[in-house]
Structure 1
Amino acid sequence: MGSDLTEEACRLEVRLLDRKVRSQPSLVAELLHEDFIEYGSSGRRWTRDEIVNELSTEGGASRIATFDLTASELADNVALVTYRSSRDGREAWRSSIWIREDGRCRILLHQATPVAPIDI
């Protein structure tokens, strides 16, 4: 069983992937640290405000599936969440750093690396 922090970070990571949450800027903003940065699978670097805005315009985007979701505690109040995602036939390896400050757990950094298609 993981620590309270790693369990909370995993739960919140999955929550952030939920279409209902992603469509509501206030809910996304609650989960993102003020200094949040994302390095997307496209290679683009996103700021907190850009991600909050971008996710609110996804509309009826398809569901994001997760596989191999794990977390480890890097330091007091710092957790690393890693997993593989799949959406519309595209897969990526993902990692997020979550920190707990003032009793709140929020994501500080997210990074995605596309999984190359397998040629058969």
Structure 2
Amino acid sequence: MGYSAKESSVVDFCESKTESLSNWVRQVKNKSLTAKTKRKRDLRVIAILSHSLVRAETELVMKQRERARKWAQMQVDLGLSNKEEEIARRHREKIDYLWKNDLSGLDSFFKELDNVKPILK
């Protein structure tokens, strides 16, 4: 994996460690795919890239889980999750109620259709 100097920008500076790791994983996947599809494969390079990729993906998953855990804890601390869950629950109940009314109306309509007897000539 060669080194290429990039100009520093505000976006690069503000990029989180998780995002930079995610970008690095994407780049290594591309390099690994390129190395595997070359006519003259270098198994040593493929092995190094594969091992690095597995370790980086594992670390990335750990960081993402940690971030999700911290976010959930922050929501609990601020009391956001209970309010939002209550609003979402009410919304689901309202939709379920509307569907049940519509479906029960259709159900009774089809039952009436079953009761209709054909006219015999």
Range into which the TM-score falls when normalised by the shorter chain: under 0.3
The structure whose RCO (Cα within 8 Å, separation 6+) is larger is: 1
Alignment TM-score, normalising by the size of structure 2: 0.23
Greater helix percent: which structure?
A: 2
Alignment TM-score, normalising by the size of structure 1: 0.23
**Larger Cα-atom Rg:** 2
Greater strand percent: which structure?
A: 1
